[in-house]
Amino acid sequence: MLPRTAADERGARHRPRAVGQRDIVGNDVAKPITVSTGTAAPVRTLVSIFGLEPLRIGGVEAFAREFSAQLAERGWNSVLCFLGEPTPLVREYLQLPNVTIEVLPADLKAATAIPAVSALLARHRPEVLLLQFTPFLSAIPWIARMRGVDRVYFVDQGSHPAGWTDRGTPLWKQWVARVLTSPLTSVLSISDYNLRVLRARGFLPVSKTLRLYNAAQVSRPHDPALGNAFRRRHGIPLDRTVVAQVSWMIPEKGIPDLLEAARISLEQDQTLHFMFGGEGPCRAEYEAKAVSLGLADRVTFTGLVRDPHGEGLFDAADIVCQMSRWEEAFGYVIAEAMAVDRPVIATRVGAIPELVIHEQTGVLVERGDYAAAAAAILRLSADETLRRRLGQAGRKRAEQEFNVRTNVATALGLFGVGPRRDGSTEPR
């Protein structure tokens, strides 16, 4: 069974209509980079295919924008391909002068995806193709090679079921996988956990695998005013200690566990308020559970927040939780919370311990142990100094390990994209 990815979480769906080069009010935007020296000179292009629909400005979209910006500094065009048309807010955010936005069929495994991808590559003639949230075993790398793409990279974003362990892959499956993945230049895993899983499965030579962390914006510290404005919009009293989880509303994210932790915590501390950000198929069920537990006036479901960083969702929280039950490949929300110095309480699953260092940048609890989560919440809510210490250490770790600017620069170096026009390889 293939691992589930964030594309599954975000409910990617097809909206088959062309995307033009206009901004959200219909004005023409700047054209992609061209070179004029008397004779036509080819402009180098990198195409990125994201197997999801861009509904909000989150970690993926922040990566795509920073990636495009740094490509522009190096004189490259950036083609961003999604499985649905971006919302106007996301389109405006991504639409830099060197960017072209394209839409592909929702099911990249379907036969209809093959001609669509082939036509896309023929149209843009990229030197490099980057695949994220797409099927690991697919025809896309082969199509790319047949279309003359020089280098093809795949980013391994897949999470795994709770308690998943590699039981060994039969040699014949390893052989088939190595044939299917042979067009890939290399595979980037987004955590040490995912890298270990990938190498254990034996699907491609170890020499083709490496780790590069996902990343978050770390451009600004915590903004209390922005957080207070977010609280007011959602009717959350300013004097409450807010505990937040931001995630897709599915069982794998452990939201029922946090609701049980809320029930226990509120028996001892009535100043707490719990906030859940996100949408998903189980939202109504979780709202009903909050009511059945008698938590209706102490729990807020915000729904999908289109720009969590810009609107102050994380700033509105005093503590951020991630009670995941499955083996997380990374944890974008954790990195985003750490970037604005929020202390994190999370489960010890998958790659999460690579982000949350227990008792240094946050607190780890075992999967499903809502009593331990409640104890951690009560401990942090009662100790502002501890929250501040953990949050500041978390921001420092985010700046060092999960910084979107430096990690994008590293990725471009790995992809063979040259230095900026001023000769530097360092991010600005």
Mean pLDDT over 81-107 rounds to: 96
Mean pLDDT over 414-428 rounds to: 68
Mean pLDDT over 189-202 rounds to: 94
Residues near 203 by Cβ (< 8 Å), separated by ≥ 6?
136, 169, 174, 177, 178, 181
Helices 255-266 and 370-381: crossing angle in degrees, nearest 10, is 50
Q: What percent of the chain has pLDDT over 90?
A: 78
For residue 5, pLDDT over 80 is answered with: no
Beta strands (DSSP E) in 22-93 are 45-50, 77-82
421/406 Cα distance (integer angstroms): 17
150/164 Cα distance (integer angstroms): 35
* Of the candidates 289, 258, 254, 288, the residue with the CA atom closest to the CA atom of residue 275: 258
Structure tokens at 188: 């980037």
Angle at Cα 399 formed by Cα 398 and Cα 405, nearest 5°? 110
| CATH class belonging to 224-401 | alpha beta
* Average pLDDT score, the chain: 89
For residue 1, pLDDT over 80 is answered with: no
| CATH class belonging to 6-215+403-414 | alpha beta
Domain ranges of the chain: 6-215+403-414, 224-401
Distances from the Cα of 281 to the Cα of 22, 308, 411, angstroms: 33, 20, 34
Q: Reduce the DSSP state of residue 115 to 3 states and report it.
A: helix
How many distinct helices (H) and strands (E) make up the chain? 16, 13
For residue 34, pLDDT over 70 is answered with: no
Structure tokens at 166: 């590699």
Instruction: Encode pLDDT of 324-341 as tens digits.
Output: 999 999 999 999 999 999
Q: DSSP label at 298?
A: G
The backbone torsions φ and ψ at residue 289, rounded to the nearest 5 degrees and listed phi first, read: -65, -40
pTM: 0.87
Instruction: Encode pLDDT of 225-272 as tens digits.
Output: 999 999 999 999 999 999 999 999 999 999 999 999 999 999 999 999
Asked if 74 and 419 touch (Cβ cutoff 8 Å), the reply is yes
